[in-house]
Structure 1
């Protein structure tokens, strides 16, 4: 492995370690020292690659948002009609809610920061915009916005429920939103 500042993967390892620590200990539990230890890098690498903990957190949450948007893309790229798109959205809710506890925790940590700090709100705004771009391949903008909120809510409810609702209820909710009068197919 390369040493010093020539290690091309060092920055990526620092970001990954930051996200892992946030998932385990929350934003309040991260520090340069803990991140450097987790990433297996010298403490000095932290200030070489990032101007401070705030830049590191912003970059890490930006990377996390990219990951979630990629999950949206993976599910919404293939459908060729509205019914397939509704099935893909149903799959997406269930994959997100049954998947990584890490992703769920990171989402909530980011939302908490975004509720208090505009710089993180910008990250969530961009994440939502990009998610809706994938939804708008199949649904008009208003429906895409409603589905985006439904995905977030159903995912959270399923992930935290002692008795998560089944796929039929998810599909019914999606059907109700996508068949409301006045909604038209995207251009």
Structure 2
């Protein structure tokens, strides 16, 4: 790289380091200095790329939300009937609850942040709008809202339970909410 040029991947490295730091220390442990160290960038890069820590957190969580929405799309995109959509939701719950611990932590952190700081609520609302929109391709809006909450709740319960319930119980909950037998 020629003198005076900035690393074109620096911004992406900062966002990735932010998410990694959140996984390790929670939002409370995030600072410009820690992120810069983890991303191996000069501290001044932080304010060059982001207006402040809140801007950085919002962008990092938006990036992670894109990842989760892609997982929703992957599962729900295959469904061609209400029964297949219920099966896709069941698969989604089990995929998310059995997936990387990193994803579980990063899914919960924005909600905790939004509960403490109302200015972050738009972030969680945007995320929910996106997942509900995908669910509404298969279910009525009220049903999609309930299923979205069920996905998050059962994912968390299955991931943290010492003896998580099996697929049959998940499928039963999904079909009850969706009113599909």
TM-score category (smaller protein): over 0.9
Question: CA separation in 2, counterparts of 1:119 and 1:163?
Answer: 37
Residue 119 (structure 1) shift: 2.4
Compare 105-114 and 154-163 and name the one that shifted more.
Answer: 105-114
1:1-187 alignment to 2 at 5 Å? Answer: 6-179=6-179
Q: Where does residue 184 of structure 1 map in the other structure?
A: none
Deviation per CA, 1:110-138, whole angstroms, max 9, x where unpaired?
11111122221101101011001110111
Considering only aligned residues, what root-mean-square deviation do their CA atoms show, in Å? 1.4
Residue 5 (structure 1) shift: 5.4
Contact 1:65–1:123, Cα closer than 8 Å, also in 2: no
Change (3 A) 1:21 1:4: farther
SS at match of 1:86: helix
SS at match of 1:51: coil
Runs of 4+ in 1 over 2 A off after TM superposition: 1-6
Residue 6 (structure 1) shift: 2.7
Q: Where does residue 185 of structure 1 map in the other structure?
A: none
Instruction: For structure 2, list consecutive stretches of 5 or more residues without a partner in the other structure.
Output: none
Instruction: For structure 1, list consecutive stretches of 5 or more residues without a partner in the other structure.
Output: 181-187
Compare 157-166 and 64-73 and name the one that shifted more.
Answer: 64-73
Deviation per CA, 1:89-121, whole angstroms, max 9, x where unpaired?
000000000001111111221111111222211
- The number of residues matched between the two structures is 180
Contact 1:5–1:45, Cα closer than 8 Å, also in 2: no
The normalised TM-score by structure 2 is 0.95
